[in-house]
Chain A
């Protein structure tokens, strides 16, 4: 079965710092890749997704992610974080009708 690893469990940054959250998956075939965000007290919502094509994908709120097939990775980046980015971030992989989520990364942005 597919597994998804998020190595950073808790990240603390100051406003304006750059962010990179790691995500690695295990299955090497065709996959769809996602990043979701869960703001405190809110539903999970989609940040961005990759199905095919340009491996650098842009999402909402200035987030982007890069798909590197050779490394089975789909890392999330943001050049300059804001206090409002404080949330939990989940990487997810879809294949064979199932979604697999990573354990999540809690991001705390200090004002």
Chain B
């Protein structure tokens, strides 16, 4: 089991560029989510998905897009990068039901710097 994998580990973008952060899990989890972690602010939910084909907005969705075409993958797209999107991004996944429900497994994170 690879768990939750994220690529890239580190990325530098210029303002206005777009990019996709990749996230994959091999645990057959229904629920997947994206967070950004900023100093002193903890983790804030960007978008989440309760299953393939179903996505919804979290607390801070502006400037980001997601899709979930398969159970395994949940990419996060930055449409037009801004310096305010400089952050560490974490992907997480969990079961939606059962004993392990909502125990999230986190990826290693992607550090994004927008100049």
Residues of A near any B CB (own CB < 8 A): 1, 4, 6, 9, 32, 34, 36, 43-46, 49, 90, 92, 94, 97-104
Majority SS at the chain B contact face: strand
Q: Are B48 and A97 in contact (CB under 8 A)?
A: yes
Q: Does B56 make an interface contact (CB < 8 A)? A: yes
Contact of A98 among B41, B58, B106 (CB under 8 A): B58
Q: Does B44 make an interface contact (CB < 8 A)? A: yes
Contact of B33 among A9, A43, A49, A99 (CB under 8 A): A99
Q: Are A104 and B42 in contact (CB under 8 A)?
A: yes
Name the A residues within 8 Å of B105 (CB-CB). Answer: 43
Q: Are A103 and B50 in contact (CB under 8 A)?
A: no
User: Within the assembled complex, what's the spacing in Å between the Cα atoms of A46 and B102?
Assistant: 10
Interface size class of B (residues with CB under 8 A): 20 to 34
A-B contact pairs, 11 of them (CB 8 A): A1-B59, A34-B104, A43-B105, A44-B106, A45-B106, A99-B102, A100-B45, A101-B43, A101-B44, A103-B42, A104-B42
Residues of B near any A CB (own CB < 8 A): 31, 33, 35, 40-45, 48, 50, 56, 58-59, 90, 92, 102-109
Q: Are B41 and A103 in contact (CB under 8 A)?
A: yes
Name the B residues within 8 Å of A1 (CB-CB). Answer: 59
User: Within the assembled complex, what's the spacing in Å between the Cα atoms of A49 and B94?
Assistant: 14
Name the B residues within 8 Å of A46 (CB-CB). Answer: 103-104
Name the B residues within 8 Å of A32 (CB-CB). Answer: 102
Q: Are A94 and B106 in contact (CB under 8 A)?
A: no
Given pairs A43-B108, A99-B104, 13 additional interface contacts (CB within 8 A): A4-B42, A34-B104, A43-B105, A44-B90, A46-B103, A49-B102, A49-B103, A92-B43, A98-B59, A99-B43, A99-B45, A99-B48, A104-B42
Known contacts: A45-B106, A99-B104, A100-B45. The answer to whether A9 contacts B59 by CB under 8 A is no
